[in-house]
Chains A and B, each alone.
Chain A
Amino acid sequence: EAGVTQFPSHSVIEKGQTVTLRCDPISGHDNLYWYRRVMGKEIKFLLHFVKESKQDESGMPNNRFLAERTGGTYSTLKVQPAELEDSGVYFCASSQVRTSGRGYSNEQFFGPGTRLTVL
């Protein structure tokens, strides 16, 4: 079974440019998440999709970030215009539908990340 894939693996852009990151979750996973790790700090939550709907976007830094998941399959995260502080590693993760009870671990499967450098 293929894991979570992300494209590109690396992106170097100049301040003010636009970048679009893509995530393909594990087939059948309705939950898709975006996280970001900036400058060796903690990994921070950005956004959570359930199918094509945004369940929680409380972690999105500002309106320069736009996430979409049309059709409930792959997702894109666009940064426009990019700023220096947007540099970091952007992780995507997917999981199955959450159920109640202690038997469910909410295991999120992570992709390898996209390393974004804004110069």
Chain B
Amino acid sequence: GEDVEQSLFLSVREGDSSVINCTYTDSSSTYLYWYKQEPGAGLQLLTYIFSNMDMKQDQRLTVLLNKKDKHLSLRIADTQTGDSAIYFCAEFPRGGATNKLIFGTGTLLAVQP
């Protein structure tokens, strides 16, 4: 199947860590992505992880991948008000001639000052 699930909403206080979770069902996916959408803007690629990796860190962002449970998470350290946005996880299934991404519903992150 091709279903990617995310919780719809997360609220945190400025300075705290945020953890956004995602589950996917296609075990053949080669890459998993996190996109950010700010109000009125397009989707911005934040980070991605290759399927044979367990973790990837990039400044305040940490991506964890649990392939056994098909679970992906994005941790944002020291969350700022500018991090308020919708965060989408997406998978890139292996094989086939298409490059289509399978997205989740998006998680709205609200950062309280």
Query: A residues near B, CB below 8 A?
Result: 3-4, 31, 33, 35, 37, 40-45, 48, 55-56, 58-59, 91, 93, 95, 98, 102, 105-113
CB of B86, distance to nearest CB on chain A (Å): 9
Residues on A with beta carbons closer than 8 Å to the beta carbon of B98:
48, 55-56, 58
Q: How far is the CA of A42 from the CA of B88 in the complex (A)?
A: 9
Total A-B pairs, Cβ < 8 A = 65
Is A110 a contact of B4 with CB atoms below 8 Å?
A: no
Chain A nearest CB, measured from B1 CB (Å) = 13
Do residues B44 and A31 form an inter-chain contact, with CB atoms below 8 A? Answer: no
Q: Which residues of B contact A31 (CB under 8 A)?
A: 99
Residues of A within 8 A of B50 (CB): 102
Interface centre among A35, A105, A107 (most CB of B within 10 A): A105
**Cβ B101 vs Cβ A45 within 8 A:** yes
User: Which residues of B come within 8 Å of A, CB atoms?
Assistant: 4, 30-31, 35, 40-45, 48, 50, 52, 88, 90, 92, 96-106
10 residue pairs, one from A and one from B, having the closest CB atoms? A56-B98, A110-B43, A43-B103, A45-B100, A110-B42, A112-B42, A42-B105, A111-B42, A42-B103, A48-B98
A56-B97 in contact (CB<8A): yes
